[in-house]
Amino acid sequence: MEHGALTPGSLLGNEIELAARLGLSRPTVRQAIQSLVDKGLLVRRRGVGTQVVHSQVKRPLELSSLYDDLESAGQRPATKVIVNTVVPASAEVAAALGVAEDSDVHRIERLRLAHGEPMAYLCNFLPPALLDLDTAQLEATGLYRLMRAAGITLHSARQTIGARAATATEAERLAEEEGAPLLTMQRVTFDDTGRAVEYGTHMYRPSRYSFEFQLLVRS
Amino acid sequence: MEHGALTPGSLLGNEIELAARLGLSRPTVRQAIQSLVDKGLLVRRRGVGTQVVHSQVKRPLELSSLYDDLESAGQRPATKVIVNTVVPASAEVAAALGVAEDSDVHRIERLRLAHGEPMAYLCNFLPPALLDLDTAQLEATGLYRLMRAAGITLHSARQTIGARAATATEAERLAEEEGAPLLTMQRVTFDDTGRAVEYGTHMYRPSRYSFEFQLLVRS
């Protein structure tokens, strides 16, 4: 497989498919996959699947889109837009986006599903007049892709990852129990002019999603 | 402050200290800090404090030591070694470290405190004969610092961040309730020869710690 046709990022089928395709027994396939995971040639990502690694132990963290990650992994992402409106910026949102408190900002809330199962609840705030936020488009693709299509060049982001207990509302949205642990991510994304173009507060079901990345020691 | 004496990474005192030092009112100091946070010149890190940013929106994620982070932030880290022993490698540990199943590996479990309060429970497995793991030394400093002192050059790491509910034992160790959300991190660290030198499975109290980092979009 080291010299085979699998390109970085491509998703391995499941064991049954692979066994049938390669004419091998399922335990043999399982053992082969484990040995490639051990060697660092494959990586298992919860919620995504077993993937060929992009480049061995050399990949710094990148700004990625959950939608794109799921789609390229064949996880059939879907989005349900729950809220798409304009609201006055709270102090927190104003500080994150660098706009005046109480000024108009876009607010969108989306439920992200994979294979029809809720995976994450995504709340985003965007400065006004940045791009059209059409509900149908938001349900058809990812936010970053819409931003790029609107001519925005994403440059960098500041991210915080934490955990907390689900409120009753959050639990219902994500098909979890109230008080169940959720993985949380807050992110402010900047474009190439240094302007904040998006502030997101996202909640993920930890049984369906985790953050995985590689990092390098700087000498 | 843009041209002042605060160097990147240095920790701001609390509002009361700062107000006294600068001869300003506390609300004025609070407002000044918020405006510097908004500008991206300061960053608030839960469990660490308010710090001067290292370089503006340009810092990729680095392999860092919780002990060093806490110490440089004046958070008075302390470590209590709970387990320091040699065990046969489980399948999971053997796969992570690239050693034979059931072969001897070091196992250490440490409770990490900040200002006397539990912050994290750290479980690490290390290959045998890599370095002396002296309990007194483990309580006096961080594991990465001991590894560097033993001549190991840390090169890269593969990290997974997730969340889950605390078991009764974990809850007791971390002064949480059973079922409370915990932030989890698994990490395999590699040296400059590509050898796995450490496999850690860590649990953090989300009220006391979160992962914060900046990332750049690669063009």
In this complex, the residue of A156, A160, A180 whose CB is nearest that of residue B211 is A160
Residue B53 has pLDDT above 60, yes or no: no
Residue (of B162, B134, B139, B153) closest to B198 by Cα position: B153
In angstroms, rounded to a whole number, what is the distance separating the alpha carbons of residues A100 and A186?
20
For residue A196, what are the contacts with CB-CB under 8 A and spacing of at least 6? A96, A97, A98, A127, A188, A189, A190
CB pairs under 8 A between A and B: 133
Q: How close is the nearest chain B Cα to the Cα of A169, in Å?
A: 17
Once rounded to an integer, what is the mean pLDDT over residues B144-148? 92
- pLDDT bucket at B123, cuts 50 / 70 / 90: very high
B72 or A184: which carries more pLDDT confidence? A184
A212 or A112: which carries more pLDDT confidence? A112
Predicted TM-score (pTM) of the model is: 0.73
In the 8-state DSSP scheme, what is residue B214? E
In this complex, the residue of A159, A163, A190 whose CB is nearest that of residue B213 is A159
B36, B51, B156, B176: best to mutate for the A interface, most A CBs within 10 A: B156
Q: Which chain A residues are closer than 8 Å to B100 by Cβ?
A: none
In the predicted model, what is the mean pLDDT of chain A? 82
Q: What is the DSSP string of A98-162?
A: T--TTSEEEEEEEEEEETTEEEEEEEEEE-TTSS---HHHHHHS-HHHHHHHTT--EEEEEEEEE
- pLDDT bucket at A219, cuts 50 / 70 / 90: very low
Residue A210 touches chain B, beta carbons under 8 Å: yes
Residue A1 has pLDDT above 60, yes or no: no
Q: For residue A189, what pLDDT is reported?
A: 94
A13 or B184: which carries more pLDDT confidence? B184
In this complex, the residue of B155, B158, B206 whose CB is nearest that of residue A162 is B206
- Are A46 and B158 in contact (CB < 8 Å)? no
Q: How close is the nearest chain A Cα to the Cα of B159, in Å?
A: 5
- Are B159 and A214 in contact (CB < 8 Å)? yes
Q: For residue A3, what pLDDT is reported?
A: 42
Residue A106 has pLDDT above 90, yes or no: yes
In angstroms, rounded to a whole number, what is the distance separating the alpha carbons of residues A85 and A104?
10
- pLDDT bucket at B26, cuts 50 / 70 / 90: confident
Lowest mean pLDDT among A91-100, A143-152, A182-191, B204-213: B204-213
Residue A13 has pLDDT above 60, yes or no: yes
In the predicted model, what is the mean pLDDT of chain B? 82
| Highest mean pLDDT out of A168-177, B44-53, B147-156, B206-215 | A168-177
In angstroms, rounded to a whole number, what is the distance separating the alpha carbons of residues A126 and A111?
17
The per-residue pLDDT for range A30-86, each reduced to its tens digit, is 777 766 665 555 666 555 566 654 332 223 456 677 888 788 777 788 999 999 999
The yes/no answer to whether this complex scores an ipTM above 0.90 is no
In angstroms, rounded to a whole number, what is the distance separating the alpha carbons of residues B36 and B42?
6
Residue A8 has pLDDT above 80, yes or no: no
Residue B44 touches chain A, beta carbons under 8 Å: no
Residue (of A146, A139, A142, A144) closest to A81 by Cα position: A139
Percent share of chain B, pLDDT over 70: 77
Percent share of chain A, pLDDT over 70: 78
- Are A156 and B38 in contact (CB < 8 Å)? no
Q: For residue A24, what pLDDT is reported?
A: 73
